[in-house]
């Protein structure tokens, strides 16, 4: 992780990684998540592949965000939350005592529902992760990481002349792309997106979706969304959650055209949700 050149910052490296990935990037088996005594996720097992964008859909309160946060142990910040079962990243149990949560979150990045740039400059926002993980060897190196990340997030052209301005002064859509750039900057392997467009207007949403397309294959992307059209547009695999259960998981085209479970069908045809 410390050397930028061979861990997927170039297209060739990323391509090789795809070829080498026979096994799924992340595997979850029999995962339960509790908040205190309340079971929020019940016995979920799922494989997440690198080459796919995976969408989690389902009505409000179905546990999709909770499960997403279990994938990079963000539930650790909630005192009452407890996770059982097994979640593996490249075959390593992320809840084992040997897994350093700092390292894990560098490998599994996250983008939140509401854009949450730090009240720092655009540059410092992107440089934040590389700084805390010691990824840049000097000013020039950091400049390069920042530029590359912003370019990948499709924000470079809009902000290259005002990197010193506060990240909070950007528009909502730009802020969200800044947050994606910030996540990309530490060169993660998986990016979790928790309803990344729910606070954005349609044009900003379209830009983020386009960005997700471009990032696909380079990073395993998991996106939680309320918007079924969005899931259909951006994802290759879709998981339908309901009341803490994983009801159905399969190819997006399959789920949307030929759902097997009635609950999925009802949700997709708009009976509830």
Partner 1 sequence: MSLAALALLILGLGLIAWVAARAKAMSFGSTGQARQHSLPNYHGWYVALWAVLPALFFLTIWSSVSGGLVTQTVLESPAAASLPAMEMQRDAILDEARRLAEGRIDAAFNPEAEALAPIYAEATSFYSLIGSSIALLLAFAAGAFAFTRLSPTFRARTRVERLVMASLLIASLIAILTTLGIVLSLLFESLRFFSMVSPVEFLFGLNWSPQMAIRADQAGSSGAFGAIPLFWGTIFIGAIIAMIVAIPLGLMSAIYLTQYASGRVRAWMKPALEMLAGVPTVVYGYFAALTVAPAIRDFAVTIGIPGASSESALAAGLVMGIMIIPFVSSMADDSIAAVPQAMRDGSLAMGATTSETIRRVLVPAALPGVVGGVLLAVSRAIGETMIVVMAAGLAANLTANPFQSVTTVTTQIVQLLTGDQEFDSAKTLAAFALGLVLFIITLLLNIVALRVVKKYREAYD
CB of 81 to partner 1, least distance (A): 13
Q: Which stretch binds partner 1 (CB under 8 A): 2-10, 25-33, 106-114, 142-150?
A: 106-114
Rounded distance, CA 32 to CA 42, Å?
5
Q: Does 35 bind partner 1 (CB under 8 A)?
A: no
Q: Which residues contact 33 (CB under 8 A, 6 or more apart)?
A: 39, 40, 41, 63, 66, 67, 70, 75, 81, 82, 83, 84
Q: Does 116 bind partner 1 (CB under 8 A)?
A: yes
Q: Give the residue, chosen from 59, 118, 227, 251, that forms a contact with partner 1 under the rule CB under 8 A.
A: 118
Which of 147, 135, 154, 108 lies closest to 5 in space, CA to CA? 135
Which pairing describes strands 245-251 and 237-242: parallel, antiparallel, or unpaired? antiparallel
Q: Does 7 bind partner 1 (CB under 8 A)?
A: no
Please identify, using beta-carbon distances, which residue of 149 and 252 lies nearer to partner 1. Answer: 149
The DSSP H or E segment spanning 29 is strand 26-35
Q: Does 103 bind partner 1 (CB under 8 A)?
A: yes
Rounded distance, CA 103 to CA 197, Å?
27
Rounded distance, CA 48 to CA 222, Å?
8
Q: Give the residue, chosen from 2, 60, 77, 97, that forms a contact with partner 1 under the rule CB under 8 A.
A: 77
Please identify, using beta-carbon distances, which residue of 40 and 247 lies nearer to partner 1. Answer: 40
Q: Give the residue, chosen from 132, 210, 229, 258, that forms a contact with partner 1 under the rule CB under 8 A.
A: 132
Q: Does 120 bind partner 1 (CB under 8 A)?
A: yes
Q: Applying CB under 8 A, which residues contact partner 1?
A: 72, 74, 77, 79, 101-106, 109-110, 112, 114, 116-120, 128-129, 132-133, 168, 179, 182-183, 186
């Amino acid at each position: 992780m410390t050397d930028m050149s061979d861990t997927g910052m170039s297209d060739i490296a990323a391509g090789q990684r795809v070829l080498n990935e026979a096994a799924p990037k992340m595997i979850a088996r029999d995962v339960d998540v509790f908040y205190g005594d309340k079971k929020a996720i019940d016995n979920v097992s799922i494989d997440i592949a690198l080459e796919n964008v995976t969408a989690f859909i389902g009505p409000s309160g179905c546990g999709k965000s909770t499960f997403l946060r279990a994938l990079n142990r963000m539930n650790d910040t909630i005192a009452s939350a407890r996770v059982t079962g097994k979640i593996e990243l490249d075959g390593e149990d992320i809840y084992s005592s040997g897994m350093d949560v700092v390292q894990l979150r560098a490998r599994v990045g996250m983008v939140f529902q509401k854009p949450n740039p730090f009240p720092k400059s655009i540059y410092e926002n992107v440089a934040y992760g590389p700084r805390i993980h010691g990824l840049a060897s000097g000013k020039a190196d950091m400049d390069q990481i920042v530029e590359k990340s912003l370019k990948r997030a499709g924000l470079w052209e809009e902000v290259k002349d005002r990197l010193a301005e506060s990240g909070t002064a950007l528009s909502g859509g730009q802020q969200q792309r800044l947050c994606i750039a910030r996540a990309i900057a530490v060169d993660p392997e998986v990016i979790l997106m928790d309803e990344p467009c729910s606070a954005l207007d349609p044009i900003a949403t379209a830009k983020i979706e386009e960005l997700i397309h471009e990032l696909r294959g380079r990073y395993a992307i998991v996106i939680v969304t309320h918007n079924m059209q969005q899931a259909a547009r951006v994802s290759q695999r879709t998981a339908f959650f309901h009341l803490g259960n994983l009801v159905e998981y399969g190819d997006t085209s399959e789920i949307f055209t030929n759902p097997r479970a009635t609950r999925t069908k009802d949700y997709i045809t708009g009976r509830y949700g």
